[in-house]
Amino acid sequence: MVLIYAGDKLSLPKLLATGVCILGFGLVSVGVDSLRMRYFEMHPSSDSLTSSSRFKFRGLCAVFWGLLSFTLGIGILVIAGVVFFGAGDATERLISARPGFVIAPLGFIFLCTALGWLCGEEGMNASILMFLATLPHRIGAVITLVFALLVLGTGLFELVAPAAFDHIVTSLKPPPAPRVPLR
């Protein structure tokens, strides 16, 4: 965090990118560890260092959170690499031409989040009463799941059939406004 702050304040993009790389490697390692151990722990608030409350996910739920952390870490590493190697213009052109490279991973991140919450934290699954009490939370996760599938599907569609995607996008543009006669 110090490298990120110093790079920002000193206007040194490579120093900032180095700090971001360290953050990205941290997220990748959390993801790999969660996938390997089938355990993920989340602090629910910003005062989590002084609080003992935590969400604990085990099994399949931990896999979803691990995939989320891993994907976020890889995304952060890619962004830091773009900054570090000065490839911003080329990356901008690539994303403009093929937005699926951004849309699909975002959909995957949303999907992992939705599935992680849908499975539920271990306290949410402790009893039938807790399951019922957390039902509104799970309904929100279902809404997020539908959104995630739409975003992921859109991104994958753009990657698989870019010409069809471009045709649909251009067909969504409104027709030109009619000309008003000046008299």
Split into its structural domains, the chain has a count of 2
Is residue 87 located within the same domain as residue 23? yes
Query: Is residue 179 situated within a structural domain?
Result: no
Which helix (H) or strand (E) segment holds residue 55: the answer is strand 55-58
- The reported pLDDT for the residue numbered 14 is 82
Is residue 69 located within the same domain as residue 126? no
Is residue 91 located within the same domain as residue 124? no
Is residue 1 located within the same domain as residue 91? yes
Query: Is residue 183 situated within a structural domain?
Result: no
Is residue 2 located within the same domain as residue 75? yes
Is residue 14 located within the same domain as residue 65? yes
Pairing of strands 39-42, 55-58: antiparallel
- The reported pLDDT for the residue numbered 95 is 93
Instruction: Look up the pTM and report it.
Output: 0.81
Query: Is residue 49 situated within a structural domain?
Result: no
Query: What whole-number distance in Å separates Cα of residue 177 and Cα of residue 183?
Result: 18
Q: Which domain holds residue 163?
A: 98-170
DSSP, collapsed to helix, strand or coil, labels residue 171 as helix
DSSP letter at 40? Answer: E
Q: In the chain, pLDDT over 90 holds for what percent of residues?
A: 52
Query: Is residue 116 situated within a structural domain?
Result: yes
Query: What whole-number distance in Å separates Cα of residue 78 and Cα of residue 28?
Result: 12
Assigned token pair, 39: 């355990």
Assigned token pair, 70: 């891993």
Query: What whole-number distance in Å separates Cα of residue 90 and Cα of residue 80?
Result: 14
Query: Is residue 126 situated within a structural domain?
Result: yes
Is residue 145 located within the same domain as residue 83? no
CB 7, CB 18: distance < 8 Å: yes
Is residue 122 located within the same domain as residue 152? yes
Chain center to CA of 135: 24
Burial of 6 (0-12, 13-18, 19+ CB in 10 A): middle
Is residue 6 located within the same domain as residue 35? yes
- The reported pLDDT for the residue numbered 49 is 55
- The reported pLDDT for the residue numbered 77 is 95
Query: Is residue 178 situated within a structural domain?
Result: no
Low-confidence ranges of the chain (pLDDT < 50): none
What's the CA dihedral at 113, 119, 121, 127 to 10 degrees? 160
Query: Is residue 89 situated within a structural domain?
Result: yes
**Residue 137 CB coordination number (10 Å):** 13
Is residue 166 located within the same domain as residue 105? yes
Is residue 17 located within the same domain as residue 91? yes
Query: Is residue 60 situated within a structural domain?
Result: yes
